[in-house]
Amino acid sequence: MGILIPIASGKGGVGKTVFSANLGTVLASRGKTVVLVDLDLGGANLHTYLGVRNKHPGVGSIVWKKEKSLENLVVPTGMDRLYLVPGDNLLPGTANLDFFTKRRIMKELLELTADYVIVDLGAGASYNVIDFWLMAPNGIVVTVPEIPSVLNAYSFLKTAAFRLLFRSFGKGSKERERIVEFVVNRTEGQGDTFLAFAEELAREDAQRGGSKGAKALEEIRRLRPRVVVNMGNGQDDATIAQRLREISARNLGVGMEFISYIMRDPYVPASVADRAPLAATAPGSSFVRGVNAAAERILRAPSIEAPGLELDDEDLFTMIEKAFDEEENQSP
Ligand SMILES: Nc1ncnc2c1ncn2[C@@H]1O[C@H](COP(=O)(O)OP(=O)(O)OP(=O)(O)O)[C@@H](O)[C@H]1O
Ligand SMILES: [Mg+2]
Domain boundaries of the chain, sorted by first residue: 3-330
Note the ligand closest to the C-alpha atom of 230: 1
Superfamily assignment of 3-330 in CATH?
P-loop containing nucleotide triphosphate hydrolases (3.40.50.300)
| pLDDT at site 323 | 78
Q: Please calculate the CA angle 118-122-127 and round it to the nearest 5 degrees.
A: 100
pLDDT on residue 134: 94
Distance between CA 261 and CA 191 in Å, rounded?
34
Largest CA distance in the chain: 69
CB of 43 within 6 A of ligand 1: the answer is yes
Nearest ligand 1 atom to alpha carbon 19:
18
Task: Report which of 201, 197, 303 is spatially closest to residue 253, judged by C-alpha positions.
Answer: 197
Give the pLDDT score at 307: 44
Residue nearest to atom 8 of ligand 1 (CA): 15
User: Angle 80-84-85 (CA atoms, 0-180°, nearest 5)?
Assistant: 155
pTM: 0.93
What integer pLDDT is reported at residue 313 of this predicted model?
A: 46
Q: Give the whole-number percent of the chain exceeding pLDDT 90.
A: 75
Please give the helix or strand (H or E) that residue 107 lies within, else none.
Answer: helix 99-111
Neighbour-count burial of 176, counting CB atoms closer than 10 A to its CB (0-12 exposed, 13-18 middle, 19+ buried) = middle
pLDDT at 309: 44
Atom of ligand 1 nearest to the CA of 14: 21
The pLDDT, as a whole number, for residue 332 is 43
**Best CA proximity match to 114, nearest among 31, 19, 46, 58:** 31
Low-confidence ranges of the chain (pLDDT < 70): 93-95, 187-189, 302-315, 330-332
Contacts with 7 (C-beta within 8 Å, 6 or more apart), sequence order: 16, 19, 20, 23, 118, 119, 120, 121, 139, 140, 141, 142
Mutation test residue for ligand 1: of 14, 40, 320, the one with most atoms within 8 Å of CB: 14
Residues 6+ apart with CB under 8 A from 225: 138, 139, 140, 141, 157, 248, 254, 256, 257
Q: Are 66 and 91 in contact (CB under 8 A)?
A: yes
> What is the structure's pLDDT at 120?
98
Q: With beta carbons less than 8 A apart as the criterion, state whether 119 and 3 touch.
A: no
**Ligand 1 atom index nearest CA of 263:** 1
